[in-house]
Amino acid sequence: MIVLFSDFGLEGPYIGQMKAVLHAAAPGVPLIDLFSDAPVCDPKASAYLLAAYSSGFPEDCVFLSVVDPGVGGDRSPVVVRTADHWFVGPDNGLFEPLIRRSCASVSAWVIRWRPKKLSATFHGRDLFAPVAARIARDDFPHQGGNRDFEAVSPEVLRRQDWPDDLAEIVYIDQFGNAITGLRSSTLRRGQTLAVNGKTILLAKTFTSVAPGDMFCYENSNGLMEIAVNKGRGSDVVGIEVGAVVEIAEL
Amino acid sequence: MIVLFSDFGLEGPYIGQMKAVLHAAAPGVPLIDLFSDAPVCDPKASAYLLAAYSSGFPEDCVFLSVVDPGVGGDRSPVVVRTADHWFVGPDNGLFEPLIRRSCASVSAWVIRWRPKKLSATFHGRDLFAPVAARIARDDFPHQGGNRDFEAVSPEVLRRQDWPDDLAEIVYIDQFGNAITGLRSSTLRRGQTLAVNGKTILLAKTFTSVAPGDMFCYENSNGLMEIAVNKGRGSDVVGIEVGAVVEIAEL
Amino acid sequence: MIVLFSDFGLEGPYIGQMKAVLHAAAPGVPLIDLFSDAPVCDPKASAYLLAAYSSGFPEDCVFLSVVDPGVGGDRSPVVVRTADHWFVGPDNGLFEPLIRRSCASVSAWVIRWRPKKLSATFHGRDLFAPVAARIARDDFPHQGGNRDFEAVSPEVLRRQDWPDDLAEIVYIDQFGNAITGLRSSTLRRGQTLAVNGKTILLAKTFTSVAPGDMFCYENSNGLMEIAVNKGRGSDVVGIEVGAVVEIAEL
């Protein structure tokens, strides 16, 4: 299974062009759109989203992960292997929380392979998708490297100064629910979230609170999320992607 | 074939997460997105849309149908079998028009099975998708029930007070065309629609009327629809989803 | 591989309904969404987009191409075969740049076949999709015609008065990048684009210019495109689809 994670937008040609490359190079492998609207040109917020939402996918999935404002510049294209999954994308911090949180050993490669035709602005299609397809069809060095893929220490990909969890809104969904980059497991008993100095009710699900009430809860991927029952959490407090959240005592 | 009908939004992770579950549990079964933007948190409007748009699909399709504002509350998860198709989703009226209009006998089950890990807010992924996959791979009791699926009378799912057709706008499409919950077969000869007291021209297709003219017509799924040739029907009269329409004499 | 190109919108039921027909009639053939948001009801702008973005797809792909404001009127449904690909859609100019630019001989057919049930407003599902599926499963006359498909001279589909390239914005993507209908190969050395009398910097990629700078470049499909590094090109100059661009001397 190849899972697509990008800020390309589901509309427009980009996702389809990548899928055409994937279908041709790895026929029969299912393709899943996870996020096509990751935080635009924001590898940091995207990284915490990717780390949370890649969990739960079948083992050995390949995550084609492209949030890449530096395309055409000098950032390296890389492959990362965690205990469960493969990740292909740019070296701009997108895989930092995955590496940081991985209990098992992580492997990493810098992609030295280049396609015959490499556009300046669409490495997702021209470079990352062919590599994802090679991994999916098991044409990739599991140990060590080769001419196309240089094995490197995962440490060279690290962003040591980034936090373990990101205390920001990283995504607002169709319902206006605002997802943070904070895992619920980072909150101690008796703690909740606050936004703009306002402490938010902690609850379990929508039907636990009255219509119109704002609350926060552990979402279905383990992240803290802010919502309003029968309303839009993002409207009520004017939350946008990038807004800071705080941990508060109940 | 498994057909997805929800208000989750095509963007964001939810559809992809459900598809990953479906691919893993029912490999090779085609997955079709019908509506990802059904009327948000509105099972009633969604129900009339689903009834109209499920027609025409191949026999034995499984409709994974999730418009579920009560997720995590006490509404039951159910399976409904009509003459042609399977439907999996919450018992909140979403299948009322399908049951009501079905000439052949309808069968129904309450889902007693629970996954090992059931999130409080995403039963589409954790509960409904695995059940849809079981039906698609023919691992489901066609007659009677079992420990996982309790056969019930379809009558217990009924919303007797709902109308046969819904005289409201239930969807506005990309072109600004406003789809009603009224089947064209409910209009007698000499009848048309009216909105805000304004009677609307009845026509056959876009090229039947002058540019800028508003008209209504039987859409490609048998519902009455309001449009403007080379314009946006929804803009002209400020129609929104939920707006009431009336049947008027020509 | 069947590639979908339309102005239907990815949301809503239309793409899914076409895919259900394609899956049923051509099982196992991969379906790719290229554009679901081609310029709405604008076959001319769509035609230049389609010509540029169909390049690079595998040989013998079938492009189901539906931008069809005249649906239900008297425009003909047609099939066009270029050196590389098949195209199915309405005869409204949508294939003009493809025919015009084709070096090899082009073949064309008028579709005389009609389905048993043909809606007045959704030929994409009822007529074009079944024909695309027939081509994909090789049930189509490669030479000459038959009762269902009348071979015609491609000249009858021509729009002789259309330009070789379209000096307009034909698409604005998720990032606010504005794609023109001008192939970069039509610019001579020392030429660039201008919009509203303002000459635009020519560059190679985003990292070549300072944040906030507007520039134009050859995009990954060979079209001239206008962008702002770390900004939205479409916002800065208020460009919309249909806006005229000019070729200017550097």
Asked if the C-beta of A219 comes within 8 angstroms of chain B's C-beta atoms, the answer is yes
Contact across the interface for A73 and C206, Cβ inside 8 Å: yes
For residue A71, pLDDT over 90 is answered with no
Other beta carbons within 10 Å of C12: 25
Look at B12 and A207 and tell me if their CB atoms are within 8 Å.
no
pLDDT of amino acid C235: 74
**Is ipTM over 0.90?**
yes
Mean pLDDT of chain A: 93
CA distance C245 to C226: 10
Nearest-by-CA chain C residue for B179: C12
Helices (H), C105-249: 123, 129-136, 233-236
Task: Kindly list the residues from chain C whose CB atom is less than 8 angstroms away from the CB atom of residue A24.
Answer: 1, 58
Backbone angles phi, psi at C21, to 5 degrees: -65, -45
Sheet holding B31-35, edge to edge: B31-35, B2-6, B62-66, B86-90, B77-81, B107-111, B149-152
Residues 150 through 179 of chain B touching chain C, CB cutoff 8 Å: 171, 173-175
Q: Do C16 and B37 touch (CB under 8 A)?
A: no
Which pLDDT does position A237 carry in this prediction?
Answer: 66
Per-residue b or e along B101-130, where b marks 16 or more CB atoms closer than 10 Å to that residue's CB: ebeeebbbbbbeeeeeeebbbbbbbbbbbb
Candidates A220, A230, A232: best to mutate against B (most CBs of B within 10 A) is: A220
pLDDT at B70: 87
C109 pairs with which residues across the strands?
Answer: C79, C151
Number of helices (H), then strands (E), in chain C = 6, 15
- What is the share, in percent, of chain A residues with pLDDT greater than 70? 99
Structural contact between residues A6 and A67, judged by C-beta atoms closer than 8 angstroms: yes
- Shortest Cα–Cα distance, A112 to chain B (Å): 31
Closest-CA distance, B219 to chain C, in angstroms, reads 7
Task: Give the whole-angstrom CA distance, residue B63 versus residue B136.
Answer: 10
CB within 8 Å: A37 and B12: yes
Question: Which residues in chain C have Cβ-Cβ distances shorter than 8 Å to A119?
Answer: 219-220
Query: What letter represents residue A186's amino acid?
Result: T
| Other beta carbons within 10 Å of A233 | 25
Q: Is A8 on the interface with C (CB under 8 A)?
A: yes
Record the tokens describing residue A168, joined without a space: 């920001």
- Nearest-neighbour CA in chain C from A194: distance (Å): 30
Mark which residues 87-146 of C lie under 8 Å from B by CB: 119-122, 125-126
What amino acid is encoded at B250 in this protein?
A: L
Residue of A nearest to C228 (CA): A69
- C2/C135 Cα distance (integer angstroms): 9
CA distance A172 to A175: 8
Dump pLDDT digits (tens) for C41-73: 999 999 999 999 999 899 999 999 999 998 888
pLDDT in tens, chain B (250 residues): 999 999 999 889 999 999 999 999 999 999 999 999 999 999 999 999 999 999 989 999 999 999 999 888 889 999 999 999 999 999 999 999 999 998 778 999 999 999 999 998 899 999 999 999 999 999 999 888 999 999 999 999 999 999 999 999 999 998 899 999 999 999 999 999 999 889 999 998 777 888 888 999 999 999 999 998 888 777 766 788 999 999 999 8
pLDDT of residue B237: 66
Q: Is the pLDDT of residue A216 over 70?
A: yes
A70 touches chain C (CB under 8 A): yes
Q: Give chain A positions within 8 Å (CB) of C58.
A: 20, 24
Among B23, B69, B122, whose Cβ lies nearest the Cβ of A220? B122
pLDDT for A70 = 87
Query: Which chain C residues have a beta carbon less than 8 Å from that of A125?
Result: 220
C-alpha of B238 from chain center = 24
Q: Span A101-109, mean pLDDT? A: 88
Note whether C14 and B34 are within 8 A (CB): no
Q: B4 and chain A: CB distance < 8 Å anywhere?
A: no
Set of chain B residues whose Cβ sits within 8 Å of the Cβ of C121: 205-206, 217, 219-220
Distance from CA of A228 to the nearest CA of C (A): 25
Facing B220 at nearest CB: one of C69, C74, C125: C125
Instruction: Give pLDDT, residue C237.
Output: 66
Decide if A35 contacts A47 (C-beta within 8 A). no
Give the residue among B14, B20, B129, B26 at the shortest CA–CA distance from A57.
Answer: B20
Closest CA to B77 of B130, B38, B41: B130
Q: What is the pLDDT of residue A221?
A: 96
How far apart are the CA of A156 and the nearest CA of chain C, in angstroms?
Answer: 22
Chains B and C: how many Cβ contacts under 8 Å?
A: 82
Partners of B69 on chain A (C-beta within 8 Å) are: 206, 230
Phi then psi for residue B140, to 5 deg, are -155, 140
Cα(A45)–Cα(A51) distance, integer angstroms:
10
DSSP state of C13: S
Whether A47 has a pLDDT exceeding 80, the answer reads yes
Contacts of A222 (CB under 8 A, 6+ apart): A52, A55, A183, A184, A185
Q: What is the pLDDT of residue B105?
A: 85
Low-confidence ranges of chain C (pLDDT < 50): none
Contacts of A23 in chain C (CB under 8 A): 1, 30, 32
How much is the pLDDT for C38? Answer: 96
Judge contact between B128 and B109, C-beta under 8 A: no
On the CB side of B33, CA atoms within 13 Å amount to 24
Helix (H, G, I), strand (E, B) or coil at A163: coil
Say how many C-beta atoms besides its own lie within 10 A of residue B243's C-beta: 19
C-alpha–C-alpha distance, residues A47 and A93, integer Å: 7
